[in-house]
Amino acid sequence: MHNSDPPHNGHSASEFGLTVDEVTCQQFVELVTEYFERALQARTMSQVEEHLVMCDWCVNYVEQMQATVASLRELGPEHTPEPPDSVLGVLRARRAGGP
């Protein structure tokens, strides 16, 4: 499905005074983890933030990623079983003065 609408919700790049080295949407989706981790270099972070000001679709993408991470957190931690009896036995032997 090809969307021929302008990418930035009706606005053109020139209206925003963007240079040709702005981040594209395809580039942004590869940078999104570094963006969340605050691991982007300053200039790239600037370009990403400028892109998000203009591109509601990439904002949707960010929100989808955030929702994905939030849902993972809701799955809850790995179940922790009781410690094995064999290991507890070693501890009890230590308490009793064994090796």
Partner 1 sequence: MQPEPAVAPARMAVSDEQTVAALRAGDERAFRDLFARSYPMMKRVARAYVASDAVAEEIVQETWMAIVTGIDRFEGRSALGTWIFSILTNQAKTHSAREKRAVPFSCVAPSDPDEPAVDPDRFQKDDDAWPGHWATPPRPWQKPERRLLSLEARDHLKAALAKLPDRQRMIVGLRDIEGHSAEEVCDLLGLSQENQRVLLHRGRSRLRAALEDYLDAPDV
Residues that bind partner 1 (CB under 8 A): 1-4, 6-7, 24-27, 29-30, 32-34, 37, 39, 55, 57-58, 60-61, 63-65, 67-78, 80-81, 83-84, 86-88, 90-96
* Residues 6+ away with beta carbon under 8 Å from 47: 21, 22, 23
Residue closer to partner 1, measured from CB, 2 or 43: 2
Report in angstroms how near the CB of residue 59 gets to partner 1 at its nearest. Answer: 9
Residue with tokens 């989808």: 64
Structure tokens at 83: 């410690």
Return the bridge partners of 11, or none: 8
Instruction: Report the distance separating Cα 65 and Cα 29, nearest Å.
Output: 10
Compute the least distance from the CB of residue 33 to partner 1, in Å: 4
By C-beta, is 27 or 46 nearer to partner 1?
A: 27
